[in-house]
């Protein structure tokens, strides 16, 4: 990458449409559940919270473009580099909070949809597991450096956990909890008295909804 080259347009092209899509879907959900059905529940509250956190994370990324997101680090001034890493640090935390909120939304929605005691017990266990994992990762990333400012200021002689191995572990754990969440309703769907084609269509709908 040459000096002056930037991938900021690519970031904008990804973040802004997805943010607009998130707003549209959540607002339609809130209108349907709160106004039309008058059944606003815990899953809807978590959906709104998810939107708030995702929006905050997205604005963090947009702010980061001002300081250098999309440009090579060697072409940034020291001040821009520090500001860039500050925004990056906050964005990581907001991203992890967003993931936890989204997963809680899905589990609460399952809890409302599946009324059997066995399924609700499984869902409660999954909620505890997802919550414990999400909270642990949030705190580990908050205190990834001691002092915290050492994350964005190389002049501070602090100690940091090796970042990339830790982020790989975080990603692996997030993928594992994703698989657990998407797998929970599958046995119930497969037991429905539907034609095979209808079952697979319903499974596809679940998968698309999860994505």
pLDDT tens for each residue of 6-40: 888 888 999 999 999 999 999 999 999 999 989 99
Domain boundaries, the chain: 8-210
My answer on whether omega of the bond before 147 falls inside 30° of 0, hence cis, is yes
Q: Is 100 exposed, middle or buried (0-12, 13-18, 19+ CB in 10 A)?
A: buried
Please indicate whether residue 196 or residue 28 has the higher confidence score (pLDDT).
28
pLDDT tens for each residue of 77-117: 889 899 999 999 999 999 999 999 999 999 999 999 887 88
- Collapsing DSSP to helix, strand or coil, 158 comes out as coil
The enclosing H or E element of 142 equals helix 117-142
What count of other Cβ atoms lies within 10 Å of the Cβ of residue 116? 9
Q: What is the pLDDT, as a whole number, of residue 159?
A: 94
Per-residue pLDDT band for 205 (boundaries 50, 70, 90) equals low
Instruction: Check: pTM over 0.75? Answer yes or no.
Output: yes
pLDDT tens for each residue of 107-143: 999 999 887 889 999 999 999 999 999 999 999 999 9
């Amino acid at each position: 990458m040459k000096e002056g080259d930037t991938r900021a347009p690519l970031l904008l092209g990804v973040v802004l449409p997805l943010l607009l899509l998130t707003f549209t879907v959540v607002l339609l959900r809130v209108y349907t559940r709160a106004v039309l059905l008058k059944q606003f529940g815990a899953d809807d509250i978590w959906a709104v919270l998810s939107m708030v956190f995702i929006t905050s994370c997205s604005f963090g990324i947009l702010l980061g473009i001002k300081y250098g997101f999309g440009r090579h680090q060697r072409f940034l001034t020291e001040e821009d580099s520090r500001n860039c890493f500050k925004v990056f640090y906050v964005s990581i935390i907001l991203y992890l909070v967003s993931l936890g909120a989204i997963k809680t939304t899905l589990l609460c929605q399952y809890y409302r949809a599946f009324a059997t005691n066995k399924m609700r017990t499984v869902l409660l266990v999954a909620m505890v597991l997802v919550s414990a994992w999400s909270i642990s990762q949030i705190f580990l990333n908050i205190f990834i450096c001691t002092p915290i400012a050492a994350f964005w200021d190389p002049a501070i002689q602090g100690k940091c956990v090796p970042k990339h191995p830790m982020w790989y572990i975080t990603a692996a754990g997030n993928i594992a909890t994703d698989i657990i969440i998407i797998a929970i309703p599958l046995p119930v769907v497969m037991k429905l008295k539907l034609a095979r084609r209808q079952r697979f269509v319903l499974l596809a709908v679940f998968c698309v909804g999860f994505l």
